Structure 1
Amino acid sequence: MSQNLFSRVRNDFEQNYDFFQQRCDGRGKIGFSGLQKCTSAIRQLAYGTCSDSFDEYLQMSERMGRECIYKFCKCVIKLYAKKYLRKPNSHDIQQIYTFHEEVHGFPGMLGSLDCTHWEWDNCPTAWRGQFQRGDHPRPTFMLEAVASQDLWIWHAFFGASGSNNDINVLDQSPIYNDLIEGKAPGQQFICNDTTYKYG
């Protein structure tokens, strides 16, 4: 994450939510700053570590680490959901279609759908069998995403267990189900079993 983006997020949180403002506790001791709380949450999300893994680095208890990540995720949803965590509307879709047709010569292309394996170092022992494959030394989970040319992620789906390959994940994917049921915005093809009709 760039420093400018991190600073923007931290400033937004400090301005809008009391939890991320530095305050004194009941004993008059100064608490954690918004910088420390955001750092703890982002590091937990980025590295997939537990809440007490930064107790030496940030001098933060496990309880405070859990609270930081919980409040951070809630605040991201409250502040940024309408703009960044939404499905594309018809105007967005038309812009993406126009771009792909002009630059790549593909009419009706919304973006690039791809699946990738992410290693899960902290996979619980009880779940390892569900997420282990013979061609990967560690447990992995599949991430499916649709991104447009400006790196805007329009769809992300991950965490499906089982013997995962691109087709298995696509079969469980909400975007694929929306296409089959005719609910997808800017639907560029209609699926009937294995027949594809381009429209």
Structure 2
Amino acid sequence: MHRHVFLRIVEGVTIQDAEFFVQKPDATGRMGASKLQKCTAAIRMLAYGSSSDAVDEYLKIASNTARECLLHFVEAVVARFGDEYLRKANANDIERLLHEGERRGFPELSSGLERNVSRKKQTTTIILEAVASSDLWIWHAFFGTPGSCNDINVLQRSPVFDDVLQGRAPEVNFSVNGTAYNMGYYLTDGIYPRWSTFIPAIKLPQTPKQRVFTQHQEVVRKDVERAFGVLQARFAIIRKPALAWNKDILWKIIMACIIMHNMIVEDERDTYQNYRDPNEYDQLQTQNNEGSSNQVGEDSFVVHNGRLDARNLGAYMERRSEMRDAETHISLKNNLVEHIWRKFGPNRQVD
């Protein structure tokens, strides 16, 4: 985390919770801990997964004060930065993701979907579900399902498709191998059901086309695995046994870590080796929006905002049926196999 990102977080949480973070004198008139000390104590506990008494010698803060710093800090981070860094993808965000997905061989690819486990005192586990893109930005996070549930159980509880079903998500019309589709998809592993929104790898590829598709699918799906790895490397409190027993506190800790992770990604992703500047797509967005008479290059998709009609139950059930359509799943997967083969062939390197 660069200095200016840290200082932005400090100023943000101070504005959000001035009563706690502003330095004040105690009963003897001696000035208490500064906002920099309090924020540093909280971030060190998140980054190293240490207990509250581990920052005593370094920051001269008592254990109880450090614990209060952590609780106030994560609450302020979620309240101050949550709307910006836990936001759902808008039409412009999806436009950039679609261009990146098309470049890597998967038209209308939303991103990767995966689950990971957060430990709690080595006895109970809590699952974190996340959606991440190639730049490691986490677009969706759902935390709180018991670890005894498998991926299917978590999917039934997850709100990942709520906006799609309710008509709030931006709609995209695209074509693969000459076939038109109107719903995005995630790259997943094999446990997920055969829905039109899930594209797994081929378990036992037999033909060269299937092998090339599986290779590219697994490479692109590793984006979410990398995002989990980087998140845990930056904030060790996620991978270590939890120090809190309250699930609400654990949720705030997880969300605060994801927010700061996205802030770091925003600050550093222009230094990534394969990073593509989003500004290069600005001139393309107006031509791929709804109502445009032309499209750019080989991109065959149109993005427009969804419209929520809460009273139309029939439309909700229709979207639900489309999302769970196994025939569309098979058709899209077969067309993607052909598309990947034509785009990359047997001798092209995986990007």
1:73-123 superposed Cα distances (whole Å, 9 cap, x missing partner):
23213331232121112221122112211x1121221111122334x2xx2
Aligned mates of 1:194, 1:82 — CA distance in 2: 30
Partners of 1:115 and 1:143 within 8 A in 2: yes
Could you tell me which residue of structure 2 aligns to residue 30 of structure 1?
31
Distance 2:40 2:88 in 1: 28
Distance 1:77 1:171 in 2: 26
Q: 1:12 to 1:148 in 2, by over 3 A?
A: same
Q: Which runs of 5+ in 1 are unaligned?
A: 132-140
Count the aligned residue pairs. 182
Retained in 2: the 8 A contact 1:170–1:176?
no
* Structure 1 stretch displaced more, 169-178 or 68-77: 169-178
Look up the equivalent residue of 2:42 and give its one-letter code: A
SS of 1:91's equivalent?
A: helix
Long gaps (5+) in structure 2? 171-182, 185-196, 198-318, 333-351
CA distance in 1, matches of 2:151, 2:143: 11
108-117 vs 39-48, which deviates more?
Answer: 39-48
* 1:115 corresponding residue in structure 2: 115
Question: 1:159 maps to which residue?
Answer: 144
Matched to 1:155, the amino acid is H
- My pick for the range that moved more, 103-112 or 9-18, is 9-18
Q: 2 CA distance for matches of 1:174 and 1:16?
A: 28
- Residue in 1 aligned with 2:169? 185
Q: Distance in 2 between matches of 1:20 and 1:13?
A: 8
Which residue is 1:136 aligned to?
A: none
Do structure 1's residue 8 and structure 2's residue 8 form an aligned pair? yes
Map 1:34-45 → 2, pairs under 5 A: 34-45=35-46
- Three-state SS of the structure 2 residue aligned to 1:157 is strand
The whole-number CA distance in structure 1 between the counterparts of 2:11 and 2:41 is: 16
- The answer to whether the Cα contact below 8 Å between 1:148 and 1:154 also exists between their aligned partners in 2 is yes
Letter of the 2:108 partner, please give it: G
What amino acid maps onto 2:109 in structure 1?
M
2:155 corresponds to 1:170: yes
CA distance in 1, matches of 2:79, 2:324: 40
**Letter paired with 1:83:** E
Distance, in Å, in 2 between the alignment partners of 1:49 and 1:3 is 22
Residue 16 to residue 164, structure 1, CA distance change in 2 (3 Å): closer
Deviations 1:55-84 (CA, angstroms, capped at 9, x unpaired) = 343332343223212321232133312321
- Higher Cα Rg, which structure: 2
Alignment CA distance shift 1:29-1:46 (3 Å): same
8 A contact 2:24–2:32 mirrored in 1? yes
Seen in structure 2, the aligned counterparts of structure 1 residues 178 and 3 have a Cα distance that, compared at 3 Å, is same
1:155 deviation in Å? 0.6
Contact 1:116/1:144 (<8 A) preserved:
yes
- Contact 1:40–1:58 (Cα < 8 Å) also in 2: yes
Partner SS, residue 160 of structure 1: strand
- Residue by residue, what CA displacement relative to the aligned partner does 1:1-32 show, whole Å, maximum 9, x if unpaired? 44443233224445665333333323221211
Q: Which amino acid aligns with 1:24?
A: P
Q: Does the Cα contact within 8 Å between 2:117 and 2:147 map onto a contact in 1?
A: no
The alignment's TM-score, normalised by the length of structure 1, stands at 0.72
- Across the aligned residues of Structure 1 and Structure 2, the Cα RMSD in angstroms comes to 3.1
After TM superposition, list the pairs within 5 Å mapping 1:134-145 onto structure 2. Answer: 141-145=126-130
Contact 2:12 2:77 in 1 (8 A): no
TM-score, normalisation: structure 2: 0.44
**1:137 corresponds to which residue?**
none
Paired residue type of 2:160: I
> Is the Cα–Cα contact under 8 Å of residues 146 and 155 in structure 1 kept in the other structure?
yes
Counting aligned pairs with the same residue, the percent is: 40
* SS across alignment from 1:6: helix
